[in-house]
Protein backbone atom coordinates (compact mmCIF):
# COMPACT_ATOMS: atom_id res chain seq x y z
CA UNK A 1 0.00 0.00 0.00
CA UNK A 2 1.25 3.45 -0.86
CA UNK A 3 1.96 5.57 2.20
CA UNK A 4 1.58 8.84 0.31
CA UNK A 5 -1.22 10.86 1.88
CA UNK A 6 -4.16 11.41 -0.46
CA UNK A 7 -6.37 14.49 -0.65
CA UNK A 8 -9.80 14.03 0.97
CA UNK A 9 -12.78 15.91 -0.41
CA UNK A 10 -16.32 16.67 0.65
CA UNK A 11 -18.56 15.56 -2.20
CA UNK A 12 -21.85 16.61 -0.63
CA UNK A 13 -23.64 17.04 2.69
CA UNK A 14 -27.29 17.19 3.72
CA UNK A 15 -29.44 17.25 6.80
CA UNK A 16 -32.97 16.72 7.94
CA UNK A 17 -34.84 19.79 9.07
CA UNK A 18 -34.11 20.28 12.77
CA UNK A 19 -36.97 20.09 15.25
CA UNK A 20 -37.48 21.24 18.79
CA UNK A 21 -36.82 18.36 21.17
CA UNK A 22 -39.78 16.04 21.29
CA UNK A 23 -41.92 18.26 19.05
CA UNK A 24 -42.33 17.58 15.34
CA UNK A 25 -40.27 14.38 15.61
CA UNK A 26 -41.90 13.19 18.83
CA UNK A 27 -43.12 10.02 17.12
CA UNK A 28 -40.07 9.53 14.91
CA UNK A 29 -37.13 7.33 15.84
CA UNK A 30 -33.60 8.74 15.86
CA UNK A 31 -32.28 5.96 13.63
CA UNK A 32 -35.04 6.69 11.11
CA UNK A 33 -33.91 10.34 10.99
CA UNK A 34 -30.40 9.09 10.26
CA UNK A 35 -31.64 6.71 7.59
CA UNK A 36 -33.54 9.53 5.87
CA UNK A 37 -30.41 11.68 5.80
CA UNK A 38 -28.34 8.86 4.28
CA UNK A 39 -30.97 8.07 1.67
CA UNK A 40 -31.38 11.74 0.80
CA UNK A 41 -27.63 12.09 0.40
CA UNK A 42 -27.45 9.15 -2.00
CA UNK A 43 -30.51 10.33 -3.93
CA UNK A 44 -28.71 13.63 -4.55
CA UNK A 45 -25.63 11.80 -5.79
CA UNK A 46 -26.80 9.13 -8.25
CA UNK A 47 -23.32 8.67 -9.69
CA UNK A 48 -22.34 6.96 -6.43
CA UNK A 49 -23.45 3.35 -6.34
CA UNK A 50 -24.36 2.09 -2.85
CA UNK A 51 -21.93 -0.73 -3.57
CA UNK A 52 -19.11 1.84 -3.80
CA UNK A 53 -19.55 2.97 -0.18
CA UNK A 54 -16.73 1.39 1.81
CA UNK A 55 -17.51 2.51 5.36
CA UNK A 56 -20.12 4.38 7.38
CA UNK A 57 -19.45 6.25 10.63
CA UNK A 58 -22.44 7.68 12.51
CA UNK A 59 -22.24 9.70 15.73
CA UNK A 60 -24.60 10.15 18.65
CA UNK A 61 -23.92 11.62 22.07
CA UNK A 62 -26.35 9.24 23.76
CA UNK A 63 -25.89 5.73 22.46
CA UNK A 64 -28.84 3.87 23.90
CA UNK A 65 -32.28 2.93 22.62
CA UNK A 66 -32.93 4.19 19.10
CA UNK A 67 -29.44 5.74 19.08
CA UNK A 68 -27.74 2.52 20.12
CA UNK A 69 -26.99 -0.82 18.50
CA UNK A 70 -24.01 0.51 16.52
CA UNK A 71 -25.72 3.27 14.55
CA UNK A 72 -23.15 3.17 11.78
CA UNK A 73 -23.92 -0.41 10.93
CA UNK A 74 -27.62 -0.45 11.72
CA UNK A 75 -28.37 2.81 9.87
CA UNK A 76 -26.42 1.57 6.85
CA UNK A 77 -28.51 -1.60 6.71
CA UNK A 78 -31.78 0.25 7.31
CA UNK A 79 -30.89 2.74 4.57
CA UNK A 80 -30.58 -0.10 2.07
CA UNK A 81 -26.82 -0.19 1.68
CA UNK A 82 -25.48 -3.64 0.78
CA UNK A 83 -24.71 -5.84 3.76
CA UNK A 84 -21.08 -5.84 2.59
CA UNK A 85 -20.78 -2.19 3.73
CA UNK A 86 -19.41 -2.01 7.29
CA UNK A 87 -20.19 0.71 9.82
CA UNK A 88 -19.38 1.96 13.29
CA UNK A 89 -20.52 4.47 15.89
CA UNK A 90 -18.69 7.55 17.15
CA UNK A 91 -19.05 9.50 20.38
CA UNK A 92 -17.26 12.79 20.92
CA UNK A 93 -20.40 14.48 22.22
CA UNK A 94 -21.15 17.66 20.26
CA UNK A 95 -18.29 16.98 17.83
CA UNK A 96 -19.57 13.53 16.93
CA UNK A 97 -20.29 14.21 13.24
CA UNK A 98 -17.09 16.23 12.99
CA UNK A 99 -15.18 13.23 14.38
CA UNK A 100 -17.02 10.83 12.05
CA UNK A 101 -15.75 13.01 9.22
CA UNK A 102 -12.15 13.31 10.38
CA UNK A 103 -11.86 9.63 11.27
CA UNK A 104 -13.11 8.50 7.87
CA UNK A 105 -10.93 11.16 6.25
CA UNK A 106 -7.91 9.59 7.91
CA UNK A 107 -8.79 6.22 6.39
CA UNK A 108 -9.25 7.79 2.96
CA UNK A 109 -5.99 9.76 3.22
CA UNK A 110 -4.16 6.58 4.24
CA UNK A 111 -5.58 4.67 1.29
CA UNK A 112 -7.69 2.13 3.17
CA UNK A 113 -10.93 3.28 1.55
CA UNK A 114 -12.02 5.59 -1.29
CA UNK A 115 -15.62 6.59 -0.50
CA UNK A 116 -17.47 6.77 2.82
CA UNK A 117 -20.48 8.29 4.56
CA UNK A 118 -20.12 10.27 7.78
CA UNK A 119 -23.11 11.32 9.83
CA UNK A 120 -24.55 12.27 13.16
CA UNK A 121 -27.92 12.26 14.86
CA UNK A 122 -29.41 13.40 18.12
CA UNK A 123 -33.00 13.01 19.23
CA UNK A 124 -32.98 15.07 22.39
CA UNK A 125 -36.69 14.48 22.81
CA UNK A 126 -36.10 10.76 23.16
CA UNK A 127 -32.77 11.24 24.93
CA UNK A 128 -32.70 14.34 27.15
CA UNK A 129 -29.21 15.72 27.70
CA UNK A 130 -27.50 13.79 30.46
CA UNK A 131 -30.08 11.01 30.38
CA UNK A 132 -28.60 7.76 31.65
CA UNK A 133 -25.22 9.24 32.48
CA UNK A 134 -23.47 8.03 35.61
CA UNK A 135 -20.46 10.33 36.21
CA UNK A 136 -17.77 8.70 38.28
CA UNK A 137 -18.01 10.20 41.79
CA UNK A 138 -14.25 10.71 41.75
CA UNK A 139 -14.77 13.61 39.32
CA UNK A 140 -16.16 15.73 42.15
CA UNK A 141 -14.82 13.94 45.23
CA UNK A 142 -11.21 14.30 44.06
CA UNK A 143 -11.83 17.73 42.50
CA UNK A 144 -10.86 16.46 39.05
CA UNK A 145 -13.53 18.84 37.80
CA UNK A 146 -15.81 21.36 39.49
CA UNK A 147 -19.56 20.79 39.59
CA UNK A 148 -20.04 23.39 36.86
CA UNK A 149 -18.05 21.26 34.42
CA UNK A 150 -20.94 18.80 34.24
CA UNK A 151 -23.51 21.43 33.17
CA UNK A 152 -22.81 23.09 29.83
CA UNK A 153 -24.79 26.23 30.68
CA UNK A 154 -22.74 26.67 33.83
CA UNK A 155 -19.53 26.45 31.80
CA UNK A 156 -20.85 29.26 29.61
CA UNK A 157 -21.46 31.39 32.70
CA UNK A 158 -17.85 30.72 33.73
CA UNK A 159 -16.65 32.03 30.37
CA UNK A 160 -18.47 35.27 31.12
CA UNK A 161 -16.75 35.32 34.53
CA UNK A 162 -13.28 34.76 33.12
CA UNK A 163 -13.59 37.33 30.35
CA UNK A 164 -15.61 40.29 31.67
CA UNK A 165 -15.52 41.96 28.25
CA UNK A 166 -17.85 39.20 27.03
CA UNK A 167 -20.94 40.94 28.32
CA UNK A 168 -24.52 39.76 28.23
CA UNK A 169 -25.35 42.62 25.87
CA UNK A 170 -22.71 41.36 23.42
CA UNK A 171 -24.03 37.81 23.73
CA UNK A 172 -27.61 38.96 23.17
CA UNK A 173 -26.56 41.07 20.18
CA UNK A 174 -24.73 38.11 18.66
CA UNK A 175 -27.80 35.90 19.22
CA UNK A 176 -30.11 38.48 17.65
CA UNK A 177 -27.86 38.69 14.59
CA UNK A 178 -27.86 34.90 14.27
CA UNK A 179 -31.65 34.89 14.15
CA UNK A 180 -31.71 37.70 11.58
CA UNK A 181 -29.10 36.05 9.35
CA UNK A 182 -31.03 32.78 9.45
CA UNK A 183 -34.26 34.57 8.55
CA UNK A 184 -32.52 36.28 5.61
CA UNK A 185 -30.98 33.00 4.44
CA UNK A 186 -34.40 31.33 4.55
CA UNK A 187 -35.95 34.21 2.63
CA UNK A 188 -33.28 33.78 -0.03
CA UNK A 189 -33.78 30.00 -0.20
CA UNK A 190 -30.22 29.29 0.92
CA UNK A 191 -30.94 26.90 3.78
CA UNK A 192 -33.79 24.86 2.29
CA UNK A 193 -31.63 23.56 -0.60
CA UNK A 194 -29.71 21.24 1.76
CA UNK A 195 -32.70 20.03 3.78
CA UNK A 196 -34.03 16.57 3.01
CA UNK A 197 -37.84 16.43 3.39
CA UNK A 198 -38.43 14.08 6.28
CA UNK A 199 -41.48 12.17 7.44
CA UNK A 200 -42.52 13.23 10.93
CA UNK A 201 -45.14 11.53 13.07
CA UNK A 202 -46.73 13.38 15.95
CA UNK A 203 -48.90 10.95 17.97
CA UNK A 204 -51.85 13.37 18.28
CA UNK A 205 -51.69 14.68 14.70
CA UNK A 206 -50.46 11.77 12.59
CA UNK A 207 -47.93 11.88 9.77
CA UNK A 208 -46.57 14.95 8.04
CA UNK A 209 -43.51 16.06 6.10
CA UNK A 210 -40.92 18.34 7.70
CA UNK A 211 -39.39 20.66 5.11
CA UNK A 212 -38.04 23.53 7.24
CA UNK A 213 -36.36 23.96 10.61
CA UNK A 214 -38.70 24.36 13.55
CA UNK A 215 -36.52 26.35 16.03
CA UNK A 216 -35.83 29.73 14.30
CA UNK A 217 -37.43 32.78 15.92
CA UNK A 218 -37.36 35.51 13.25
CA UNK A 219 -39.38 37.90 15.44
CA UNK A 220 -36.60 38.02 18.06
CA UNK A 221 -35.79 41.49 19.40
CA UNK A 222 -32.99 42.80 21.59
CA UNK A 223 -35.62 44.00 24.05
CA UNK A 224 -37.10 40.54 24.28
CA UNK A 225 -33.72 38.89 24.75
CA UNK A 226 -32.92 41.28 27.61
CA UNK A 227 -35.94 40.08 29.62
CA UNK A 228 -35.23 36.33 29.51
CA UNK A 229 -34.42 34.50 32.72
CA UNK A 230 -30.99 33.00 33.37
CA UNK A 231 -31.59 29.35 34.28
CA UNK A 232 -28.01 28.42 35.19
CA UNK A 233 -27.32 31.12 37.76
CA UNK A 234 -29.28 33.81 39.54
CA UNK A 235 -28.61 37.14 37.80
CA UNK A 236 -26.49 35.30 35.24
CA UNK A 237 -25.89 36.10 31.60
CA UNK A 238 -26.69 32.87 29.76
CA UNK A 239 -30.34 32.60 28.66
CA UNK A 240 -32.42 30.44 26.31
CA UNK A 241 -32.20 33.34 23.85
CA UNK A 242 -28.41 33.47 23.58
CA UNK A 243 -27.94 29.69 23.61
CA UNK A 244 -28.76 26.89 21.21
CA UNK A 245 -31.88 24.90 22.02
CA UNK A 246 -32.62 21.24 22.66
CA UNK A 247 -33.21 19.68 19.28
CA UNK A 248 -33.77 16.62 17.12
CA UNK A 249 -32.14 16.07 13.73
CA UNK A 250 -29.61 14.22 11.59
CA UNK A 251 -26.85 15.06 9.11
CA UNK A 252 -24.87 13.07 6.54
CA UNK A 253 -21.83 13.74 4.37
CA UNK A 254 -20.27 11.96 1.41
CA UNK A 255 -16.47 11.87 1.53
CA UNK A 256 -14.02 10.58 -1.06
CA UNK A 257 -10.45 10.73 -2.19
CA UNK A 258 -9.97 13.48 -4.73
CA UNK A 259 -8.86 10.95 -7.34
CA UNK A 260 -11.94 8.78 -6.87
CA UNK A 261 -14.24 11.80 -6.98
CA UNK A 262 -12.73 12.89 -10.28
CA UNK A 263 -12.86 9.36 -11.66
CA UNK A 264 -16.59 9.14 -10.96
CA UNK A 265 -17.32 12.69 -12.07
CA UNK A 266 -18.52 13.76 -8.63
CA UNK A 267 -18.85 17.30 -7.35
CA UNK A 268 -16.11 18.54 -5.03
CA UNK A 269 -17.46 21.04 -2.53
CA UNK A 270 -14.42 21.35 -0.28
CA UNK A 271 -10.96 19.87 0.20
CA UNK A 272 -9.81 18.90 3.67
CA UNK A 273 -6.57 20.67 4.60
CA UNK A 274 -6.05 19.84 8.30
CA UNK A 275 -7.91 19.19 11.51
CA UNK A 276 -7.19 19.20 15.24
CA UNK A 277 -8.87 18.52 18.56
CA UNK A 278 -7.70 20.06 21.81
CA UNK A 279 -8.57 20.05 25.50
CA UNK A 280 -9.18 22.92 27.91
CA UNK A 281 -10.36 23.17 31.51
CA UNK A 282 -13.76 21.44 31.58
CA UNK A 283 -15.18 24.36 33.55
CA UNK A 284 -14.69 26.68 30.55
CA UNK A 285 -15.65 24.14 27.90
CA UNK A 286 -16.65 26.83 25.40
CA UNK A 287 -13.06 28.03 24.99
CA UNK A 288 -12.09 24.77 23.29
CA UNK A 289 -12.25 26.09 19.68
CA UNK A 290 -9.38 28.49 20.39
CA UNK A 291 -6.61 25.91 20.99
CA UNK A 292 -8.02 23.47 18.43
CA UNK A 293 -7.95 26.22 15.80
CA UNK A 294 -4.40 27.22 16.76
CA UNK A 295 -3.35 23.58 16.31
CA UNK A 296 -5.20 23.12 13.01
CA UNK A 297 -3.72 26.33 11.59
CA UNK A 298 -0.22 25.24 12.58
CA UNK A 299 -0.69 21.83 10.95
CA UNK A 300 -1.85 23.55 7.75
CA UNK A 301 0.94 26.14 7.80
CA UNK A 302 -1.66 28.92 7.83
CA UNK A 303 -2.48 32.00 9.87
CA UNK A 304 -5.91 33.12 11.02
CA UNK A 305 -5.63 35.91 8.44
CA UNK A 306 -5.63 33.23 5.73
CA UNK A 307 -9.15 32.14 6.66
CA UNK A 308 -11.85 33.84 4.63
CA UNK A 309 -14.93 31.99 5.92
CA UNK A 310 -15.85 30.72 9.38
CA UNK A 311 -18.55 28.33 10.52
CA UNK A 312 -18.51 28.39 14.32
CA UNK A 313 -21.04 26.27 16.19
CA UNK A 314 -23.22 28.46 18.35
CA UNK A 315 -23.68 26.29 21.41
CA UNK A 316 -23.68 29.54 23.37
CA UNK A 317 -23.20 33.07 22.10
CA UNK A 318 -20.47 33.69 24.70
CA UNK A 319 -18.48 30.76 23.34
CA UNK A 320 -18.49 32.25 19.84
CA UNK A 321 -17.53 35.76 20.90
CA UNK A 322 -14.75 34.33 23.10
CA UNK A 323 -13.34 32.66 19.99
CA UNK A 324 -13.72 35.83 17.92
CA UNK A 325 -12.14 37.99 20.64
CA UNK A 326 -9.08 35.76 20.83
CA UNK A 327 -8.41 36.08 17.12
CA UNK A 328 -9.27 39.76 16.88
CA UNK A 329 -12.42 39.22 14.82
CA UNK A 330 -15.43 41.52 15.24
CA UNK A 331 -18.65 40.05 16.64
CA UNK A 332 -20.47 41.01 13.44
CA UNK A 333 -17.74 40.08 10.95
CA UNK A 334 -19.58 39.02 7.77
CA UNK A 335 -17.17 36.11 7.27
CA UNK A 336 -18.64 34.38 10.34
CA UNK A 337 -21.77 32.21 10.02
CA UNK A 338 -23.31 34.14 7.11
CA UNK A 339 -26.44 31.94 7.21
CA UNK A 340 -26.84 32.22 10.97
CA UNK A 341 -26.15 29.29 13.26
CA UNK A 342 -27.26 26.94 15.99
CA UNK A 343 -28.80 29.67 18.15
CA UNK A 344 -31.41 29.96 15.40
CA UNK A 345 -31.64 26.58 13.65
CA UNK A 346 -30.76 24.33 16.59
CA UNK A 347 -27.99 22.07 17.81
CA UNK A 348 -28.89 18.36 17.84
CA UNK A 349 -25.56 17.64 19.55
CA UNK A 350 -23.67 14.98 17.57
CA UNK A 351 -25.13 16.05 14.22
CA UNK A 352 -23.93 19.67 14.13
CA UNK A 353 -20.39 19.23 12.80
CA UNK A 354 -21.71 18.32 9.36
CA UNK A 355 -24.21 21.19 9.36
CA UNK A 356 -21.19 23.49 9.66
CA UNK A 357 -19.56 21.74 6.71
CA UNK A 358 -22.53 22.04 4.39
CA UNK A 359 -22.91 25.75 5.23
CA UNK A 360 -19.22 26.37 4.56
CA UNK A 361 -19.46 24.51 1.25
CA UNK A 362 -22.26 26.84 0.17
CA UNK A 363 -20.18 29.86 1.13
CA UNK A 364 -17.32 28.47 -0.98
CA UNK A 365 -19.66 28.34 -3.98
CA UNK A 366 -20.70 31.96 -3.50
CA UNK A 367 -17.30 33.32 -2.52
CA UNK A 368 -14.81 32.20 -5.15
CA UNK A 369 -12.42 34.84 -3.81
CA UNK A 370 -12.11 32.87 -0.54
CA UNK A 371 -9.44 30.17 -0.55
CA UNK A 372 -9.65 28.74 2.98
CA UNK A 373 -12.44 28.30 5.51
CA UNK A 374 -12.86 26.49 8.79
CA UNK A 375 -15.49 24.72 10.84
CA UNK A 376 -15.08 24.70 14.61
CA UNK A 377 -17.02 23.82 17.74
CA UNK A 378 -16.73 23.43 21.49
CA UNK A 379 -17.19 20.00 23.07
CA UNK A 380 -18.40 18.92 26.50
CA UNK A 381 -15.93 18.19 29.30
CA UNK A 382 -13.53 20.78 27.95
CA UNK A 383 -12.59 20.20 24.31
CA UNK A 384 -12.65 21.90 20.94
CA UNK A 385 -12.47 20.66 17.35
CA UNK A 386 -11.49 22.48 14.16
CA UNK A 387 -11.33 21.43 10.51
CA UNK A 388 -9.71 23.63 7.87
CA UNK A 389 -11.00 23.35 4.32
CA UNK A 390 -9.86 24.65 0.92
CA UNK A 391 -12.30 26.10 -1.58
CA UNK A 392 -12.19 24.14 -4.87
CA UNK A 393 -13.90 27.06 -6.60
CA UNK A 394 -11.18 29.56 -5.65
CA UNK A 395 -10.36 31.85 -8.56
CA UNK A 396 -8.04 34.29 -6.81
CA UNK A 397 -8.52 37.44 -4.83
CA UNK A 398 -8.65 37.25 -1.05
CA UNK A 399 -7.10 34.40 0.88
Question: Could you tell me which residues come within 8 angstroms of residue 283 by beta carbon, excluding any fewer than 6 positions away?
Answer: 145, 146, 148, 149, 155, 158, 382
Rg (CA), the chain: 20
Q: In whole angstroms, give the CA distance from residue 172 to residue 228.
A: 10
Phi, psi of 13 (to 5 degrees): -150, 145
Catalytic pick from 94, 123, 127, 160?
A: 94
Active site residue 94: yes
Question: Could you tell me which residues come within 8 angstroms of residue 269 by beta carbon, excluding any fewer than 6 positions away?
Answer: 9, 10, 11, 12, 13, 361, 364, 365, 392
> DSSP string covering 262-331, please?
HHHT----EEEEEEEEEE--GGGGGGTHHHHHHHHHHHHT--GGGEEEEEE--SBHHHHHHHHHHTT--T
Q: Are 123 and 66 in contact (CB under 8 A)?
A: yes
Question: Could you tell me which residues come within 8 angstroms of residue 29 by beta carbon, excluding any fewer than 6 positions away?
Answer: 66, 123, 126
Q: In whole angstroms, give the CA distance from residue 40 to residue 44.
A: 6
Catalytic pick from 123, 127, 160, 378?
A: 378
The catalytic site residues sit at 94, 347, 378
Amino acid sequence: MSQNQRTVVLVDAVRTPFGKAGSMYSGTRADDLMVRAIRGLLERNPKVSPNAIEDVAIAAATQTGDQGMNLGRSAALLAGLPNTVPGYSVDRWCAGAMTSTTTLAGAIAFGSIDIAIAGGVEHMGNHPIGDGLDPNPRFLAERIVEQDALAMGATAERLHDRYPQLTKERADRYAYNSQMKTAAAYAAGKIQRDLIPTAARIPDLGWGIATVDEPPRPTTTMEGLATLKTPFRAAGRVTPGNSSGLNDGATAALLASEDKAKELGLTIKAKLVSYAFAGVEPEVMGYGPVPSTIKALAKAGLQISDIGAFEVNEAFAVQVIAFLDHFGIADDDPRVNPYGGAIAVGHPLASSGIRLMLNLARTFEERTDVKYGLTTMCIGLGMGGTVIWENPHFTGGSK
